[in-house]
Amino acid sequence: MPNPPPQDLVIRQAISVSDIDAATSCFRAYTEWLNMDLAFQDFGTEISTLPGKYAAPKGALLLACDPCSQEVLGCIAMRPLDLQPEFRTKRRADAKYCELKRLYVYPSARGRNIARRLVVEALRAAKDQGYNEALLDTLESMTAAISLYRSLGFEETERYYPNHGQGFINMSKKIHQ
């Protein structure tokens, strides 16, 4: 029987102190690359309290790692989302919503489908945790990310929280239980 191909990527939940430090570094690299002040999202508190709102069992803070060196290549986070009533008008009242955040792959690791695999794994975690729909926002200028999300079944949707500024696209994907 032939040996299975070597695993080229490990995606795992950030649990240990070193994992949280790696996730914090990845989040910081994301904001530097984004070149945008995320104070309106209370980003300072978010990274100082990781895993915070992304903690299991209701969330996920995932790291993509090289299986040999354990070098962190990217990250994604998923959290529960409690929609305010004004943003529930076109959505099921009894549904459970989550939000995908902070998808980032370090430049040296791009071109290996790591972002796709991170999103797929975050969606798997969302399904396992009983969510019915995943929401996210992204910048209109992030065309590669938008293409990725569309290829995974995300569609543009109405705003689901009060965005601060122009240039955002809101997307959603139903998660079938």
**In this structure, what token pair is assigned to residue 82?**
């409690």
pLDDT tens digits for range 118-157: 999 999 999 999 999 999 999 999 999 999 999 999 999 9
**In the CATH scheme, what is the code of domain 10-174?**
3.40.630.30
Region 95-113: what's the mean pLDDT?
95
Strand pairing partners for 100? 78
Region 87-112: what's the mean pLDDT?
88
Going from the C-alpha of 165 to that of each of 140, 161, 172, the distances in angstroms are 12, 12, 20
Region 16-26: what's the mean pLDDT?
96
Q: Residue 110 pLDDT more than 90?
A: yes
| Helix (H/G/I), strand (E/B), else coil: 95 | coil
Q: Residue 43 pLDDT more than 90?
A: no
Region 32-47: what's the mean pLDDT?
78
Q: What's the pLDDT at 45?
A: 84
Q: What are phi and psi of 151, to 5 degrees?
A: -65, -20
Compute the Cα dihedral for 27, 28, 32, 36 and give only its sign.
Answer: positive
For residue 22, the surrounding DSSP H or E stretch is: helix 17-34
Give yes or no for a contact between 77 and 59, defined as CB atoms under 8 angstroms apart.
yes
